[in-house]
Amino acid sequence: MALRVNGVHHEVDLDHRVTLLDTLREHLDLTGAKKGCDHGQCGACTVLVEGRRANSCLLLAVALHGCEITTVEGLAGPDETLHPLQRAFMEHDAFQCGYCTPGQLCSAVGALREAAAGHPSHATAAAALAVPGPAALSAEEVRERLSGNLCRCGAYPAIVRAVTDAGADAAATAAGAEVTP
């Protein structure tokens, strides 16, 4: 089967029971995505599949033939420029041991995309639901949207600050692009 991971084409010959997480870690030497629970409970294995966040421990690689996968190794630009969320995590010191961080980052990338596309969360105020367009990301929104990513070190306050800041920057950039002819 073929997978495109971080822009690189891979062909792998796998047992059909192998998960995407094990494919990345054991067959492609991409160990950024972490195995925490292996049961879809902790979010440490989060990657982006066709641009949408997913727990890679719950996906069978064989079902993803031809898909585009992005892992934490692929978030930085081609010249190694850090992704804005990676910079925000560093600026806010949003980790301790770092085990959950790859999953937090991939999940945050997906969450910001979902908010920018106008997808509401459980924390989105009823009044905001009536207004089409990007969802504003309050700290409460970030906590809800990243609630599937656990951090055993309890770095949550700094993670929320980092994602809220990066979300505000992304929204400001998008607004600037809209008014710039």
Site string for ligand FES, 41-70 (x = CB under 6 A): xxxxx---------x-x-------------
Report, in Å, the least distance between residue 46 CB and ligand FES. 7
Regarding 109 and contact with ligand FES (CB under 6 A), the answer is no
When asked if residue 111 is in the footprint of ligand FES (CB under 6 A), the reply is: no
Q: How far is the CB of 42 from ligand FES (least distance, A)?
A: 3
Contacts of 132 by beta carbon, 8 Å cutoff, 6+ apart: 118
Segment holding 40, helix H or strand E = none
| Binding of ligand FES by 71 (CB under 6 A) | no
Residue 104: CB minimum distance to ligand FES, A: 7
Closest separation in Å from C-beta 32 to ligand FES: 13
Q: Measure the CA–CA gap between 155 and 169, rounded to whole angstroms.
A: 21
Give me the phi and psi of 55, to 5 degrees please.
-80, 110
Compare residues 135 and 162 and give the one whose CB is closer to ligand FES.
162
By the 8 A CB rule, do 38 and 26 touch?
Answer: no
Q: Which of 30, 137, 155, 163 binds ligand FES (CB under 6 A)?
A: 155
**Residue 77, Cβ density class (10 Å: 0-12 exposed, 13-18 middle, ≥19 buried):** exposed
State yes or no: residue 157 binds ligand FES (CB under 6 A): no
User: CA 128 to CA 102: how far, in whole Å?
Assistant: 30
The H-assigned helical ranges of the chain are 20-22, 84-91, 101-116, 126-129, 139-145, 156-179
89 sits near ligand FES (criterion: CB under 6 A):
no
The binding site for ligand FES (CB under 6 A) comprises: 35-38, 40-45, 55, 57, 95-101, 151-153, 155
